[in-house]
A and B are shown apart, each in its own frame.
Chain A
Amino acid sequence: NAGVIQTPRHKVTGKGQEATLWCEPISGHSAVFWYRQTIVQGLEFLTYFRNQAPIDDSGMPKERFSAQMPNQSHSTLKIQSTQPQDSAVYLCASSPRDWDYEQYFGPGTRLTVL
């Protein structure tokens, strides 16, 4: 079991560019979560999917951020027109059962917006 895979591990973009982050959950897990970690705000929930359907996006900035899960093997987080304040480590997690809360985290993607 390879665990949750996130690519790329590091991404540098210029202000105003688009960034797409990829997540491959553990095979057989029905729930996929996205979190963002910064020094100031800590670990913050962004959004989650259950069986590929979006369930809760209450943590997503309403503009510029979107997430999709087109199939059970991957999810993407897209940030349009990136801003310096988007710089953070973006973590993806998966869980065999979302109601059990035992989430398995990937290594994260460090996004730096210049």
Chain B
Amino acid sequence: GDSVTQTEGQVTVSESKSLIINCTYSTTSIAYPNLFWYVRYPGEGLQLLLKVITAGQKGSSRGFEATYNKETTSFHLQKASVQESDSAVYYCALGDRSGGSNAKLTFGKGTKLSVKS
């Protein structure tokens, strides 16, 4: 089956410092999966941050970037300079597109980012 492993627990970063949240995936599918980062801000629902559906491509949104690396099966989330408003829980997710009817997402356990001023 599919699995996603990401930096677990809580990460604390000072404002204006850089951030990286690691994500690696495993799939038994012969097709390369679609990869996503979702985010849950305090008091809000889970929402899509960025997605990449082509291996080797980079996705970006709100200053965050993630590159789909099929060799290392990784999709790390990075930001050069975090802000207090980035404090949230971040989830890496995989979508297996090998099956014609299988659209479910497999999520990592989530990483809580706290940005201190």
A residues whose Cβ falls under 8 Å from a Cβ of B: 3-4, 31, 33, 35, 42-45, 48, 50, 55-56, 58-59, 91, 93, 95, 98-99, 101-108
Contact = CB atoms under 8 A, between A and B. Distances in A.
Interface in B72-117: 91, 95, 97, 101-110
A70 B97 CA distance: 27
Interface of chain A, main secondary structure: strand
A98 B36 CA distance: 14
Contacts of B34: 101
Nearest to A47: B104
B45 A42 contact: no
B104 A33 contact: yes
B107 A103 contact: no
A101 B51 contact: yes
Contacts of B97: 99, 101
Given A42-B110, A105-B47, A56 B91 contact: no
A98 B107 contact: no
Contacts of A33: 103-105
Given A42-B109, A43-B91, A99-B97, A105 B45 contact: yes
Contact of A99 (B38, B91, B103, B109): B103
A45 B104 contact: yes
A57 B45 CA distance: 23
Given A55-B101, A56-B101, A101-B51, A45 B106 contact: yes
A59 B34 CA distance: 20
Given A35-B105, A98-B103, 7 more contacts: A42-B107, A45-B104, A59-B104, A99-B103, A101-B97, A103-B105, A108-B45
